[in-house]
Structures are given as structure tokens and as C-alpha cells.
Amino acid sequence: MPKDPPKPRSARAPRKLSSTEERRLRAQKICSRSAEMPFRCNRCEEKNLRCFVDTATGHCAGCIAAHAECSLFVPEKEWEKAEEEERATELALARSEAESARLRVELLEVKSRKQEFARRDLAILRVHDQVQGQAQEVESSSTTVPLPLDPPADLGWSQANNLLLDPSFDQFLANLPDGSFFDNLVVPPSPPLVE
């Protein structure tokens, strides 16, 4: 059998790129077709590099080329942590507001109690002033009690009063030895005042 004619040698197939070369090529493509980010990932920020993002992976071209962890997008754990902190802070704020409202109510109750005490004390002082005023009126009117025009029936000493008012009694006293009449004179106590 005749031999098949030799196959013409085809052009060599392109060799497979290494992983480093693939990463660099992908980073160049990202830089050429993506827009530069207005902010940078931590690695690009530290090295002062321009930061181009690959929307398919969420990593920037510089981190892809260097095979480094890219912090351009916040990891899910960080989001969950931030959301948990937010919920805890909101709950603490709500508790604080509730405590503040409770304290405001307590303060208003104390103020109300104080006002009630003041009203009660003022009422007591008014009554006290009225009673004191009435007592002063009675006292002032009792000190100026008019004497009755008619002498009382017989108090037992009214005759002495008439005797003292008699002008002849003055003559009798003038004839007595020095003070002997007054030494033996007993004057009964005056009756108590009626209020």
C-alpha cells in the first residue's frame, strides 16, 4: 500500500499560557474595557495604583494580576456584622428612648405631687390666717368690752365701790391713822373674761 503522503506540518498550536500570564492578560483586558473606580481597594490604595474593577468577579485588575485578595467589595460577613450592629444600636436607642419617656413621666408625676402639696399648704395657711384674724378680732373686741350701764345685781363688793365713790368716804380716810384702812382691806379677784 502506498504510503499516505506526509501530512504537511501545520503551524504549531499556540502554547498554553501559565496562570500568571493568564491573570496578567485578564487584568489588561479589564483595564482596557472597564472604567476606573472613583475609590480604590485597600491594596491599590496602599500601593497608590489605579483601580479598575472586573464586574464578573468583583475584583480589581491589580489584585487579579497580583493574585491578591481584593477588598473592593465588602465581604458578606462584614455586611452581616454591620447589619447586626445597626439592629443592636436601634434596639438600644429604642430602649433608651423608652427609659427617657419613663423618666419624663416620673418627673411630671413628682412635679404634680409638689404642686398638690403647695396647694394644700396654701389652703392650710389661708385657714390659719382666717382663724388668727378672727382671734385678733375677738381679742381686740374683748379688751374694749363696754361696761354695763346698770350695775350687776350683787357681786358682793359693789357696795365697796359705791363707798369708794362717796365723797364723805374721802373724809373718813383722811381721819384714819396712816395706812391702817388699806392694810385690812381685802379685794376679791375680778371675774374671768369670757371669750
pTM of the model: 0.37
Say yes or no to pLDDT of 195 above 80: no
Record the cell numbers describing residue 147, joined without a space.
361696761
CA dist 74 → 53, 63, 69, 78 (Å): 13, 15, 12, 6
The residue extents of the domains of the chain are 19-66
The pLDDT tens digits for 122-164 are 999 998 888 888 888 877 776 555 555 555 555 555 555 554 5
